[in-house]
């Protein structure tokens, strides 16, 4: 496999999000040119998104909609635009002006449970927004697209580990249904227009700068602030917790080796990207207790609607095609997150 790295111009949607921010940092450190896009919605605290952007040299006062701003960091070839994916006027203009080599679509309305309460937001962002991305790729001769799917597409699949060969026709949340829709839409555009697309089913990503609605953040915040933590399904849950650096290393490897992949006749591939080592939720909480030195107050709760008991990623294909190798164990990852959390929120 040819490992020569070619400098590229990359569009990263969801650039102010958790994974998008880390990807931008890594791409810039590898001397790629990056344009970041995000709508900075208030699904969770926008101040965290603004703080991520500040690390990329984008100041809050420079965030008028549909305006492309240059990073203030002199060594970073980074631009940012505040824009909705579903904006059919301004997104095509961005594509026409910037002429990207590759698009990495990480923007989406996130959250399984929120999708039950606010379904239309998911249809607009995750379905219409992704269709707009596909159309912009088609109309601007973009031949390489990587997009975020989710482990949630497996629904109530009882066979573990989850394989990309498994049937995923039974999602149990609208969020999962929109991600399955993205896969079908990408496959269609790959077939019709020759766009080479790679979909990544993410498995429970955690780490510094992580989302406040995710277990790692919720549990740490509760423990350090002497609040009870809600343990759903009475703790009988396990997740394939995957540290963000391992996820990013996987995406970077895909970007670097994209031209070497044999797409055969379909121009479309789907991969799981996870740790391949599920951890029981109570063990995860124990690691937080060990690192903080505080015993968690556990409030045992029933199963939540739209949730599943366990996730576990079969990553054999990703290993075979991209030499993917998750390296961060749960104790290292938890310690790293808590260190960031204490520094960011100025906790002793």
Q: Is the peptide bond before 307 cis (omega within 30 degrees of 0)?
A: no
Strand order in the sheet with 68-70: 68-70, 78-82, 33-38, 9-13, 102-105, 144-150, 196-202, 268-273
The 10 Å Cβ neighbour count of residue 97 is: 10
Dist CA 253 CA 258 (whole Å)? 8
What pLDDT was estimated at residue 306?
66
User: What predicted TM-score, i.e. pTM, was given to this entire model?
Assistant: 0.94
Q: Check residue 162 and report its DSSP letter.
A: B
Q: State yes or no: is 243 an active-site residue.
A: no
Q: Check residue 300 and report its DSSP letter.
A: E
Instruction: List the domain boundaries for the chain.
Output: 9-204+243-275+312-327
Architecture of the domain defined by 9-204+243-275+312-327: 3-Layer(aba) Sandwich (3.40)
What pLDDT was estimated at residue 2?
45
What pLDDT was estimated at residue 348?
65
What pLDDT was estimated at residue 301?
82
Dist CA 104 CA 169 (whole Å)? 25
Dist CA 202 CA 272 (whole Å)? 6
What pLDDT was estimated at residue 1?
41
What pLDDT was estimated at residue 237?
85
pLDDT in tens, the chain (348 residues): 444 567 899 999 999 999 999 999 999 999 999 999 999 999 899 999 999 999 999 998 879 999 999 999 887 899 999 999 999 999 999 999 999 999 999 999 877 777 778 889 899 999 999 999 999 999 999 999 999 999 999 998 888 899 999 999 999 889 999 999 999 999 999 999 999 999 999 999 999 999 999 999 999 999 999 999 988 888 778 899 999 999 999 999 999 999 999 888 789 999 999 999 999 999 999 999 999 999 999 988 888 776 778 889 999 999 999 999 999 999 999 999 999 999 999 876
Catalytic residue among 44, 114, 154, 175: 175
């Amino acid at each position: 496999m040819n490992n020569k790295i070619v400098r590229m111009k990359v569009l990263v949607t969801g650039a102010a999000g958790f994974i998008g921010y880390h990807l931008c940092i890594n791409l810039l450190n590898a001397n790629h040119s990056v344009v970041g896009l995000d709508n900075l919605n208030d699904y969770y605290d926008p101040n965290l998104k603004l703080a991520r952007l500040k690390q990329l040299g984008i100041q809050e006062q420079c965030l008028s909609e549909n305006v492309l701003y240059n990073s203030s960091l002199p060594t970073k070839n980074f631009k940012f635009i505040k824009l909705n994916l579903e904006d059919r006027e301004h997104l095509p203009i961005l594509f026409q002006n910037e002429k990207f080599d590759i698009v990495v679509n990480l923007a989406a309305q996130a959250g399984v449970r929120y999708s039950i309460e606010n379904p239309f937001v998911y249809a607009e962002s995750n379905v219409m927004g992704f269709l707009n991305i596909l159309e912009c790729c088609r109309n601007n001769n973009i031949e390489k697209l990587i997009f975020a799917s989710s482990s949630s597409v497996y629904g109530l699949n009882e066979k573990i580990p989850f394989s990309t060969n498994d049937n995923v026709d039974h999602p149990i949340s609208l969020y999962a249904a929109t991600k399955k829709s993205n896969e079908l839409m990408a496959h269609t555009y790959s077939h019709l227009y020759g766009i080479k697309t790679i979909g990544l089913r993410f498995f429970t990503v955690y780490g510094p700068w992580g989302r406040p609605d995710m277990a790692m953040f919720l549990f740490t915040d509760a423990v350090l602030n002497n609040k009870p933590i809600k343990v759903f399904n009475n703790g009988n849950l396990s997740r394939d917790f995957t540290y963000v650096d391992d996820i990013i290393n996987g995406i970077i490897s895909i970007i670097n080796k994209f031209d070497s992949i044999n797409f055969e006749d379909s121009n479309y591939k789907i991969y799981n990207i996870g740790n391949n080592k599920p951890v029981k939720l109570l063990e995860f909480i124990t690691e937080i207790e060990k690192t903080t030195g505080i015993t968690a107050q556990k409030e045992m709760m029933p199963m939540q609607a739209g949730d599943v008991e366990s996730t576990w990623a079969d990553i054999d294909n990703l290993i075979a095609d991209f030499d993917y190798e998750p390296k961060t164990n749960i104790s290292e990852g938890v310690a790293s997150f808590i260190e960031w959390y204490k520094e960011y929120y100025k906790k002793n």
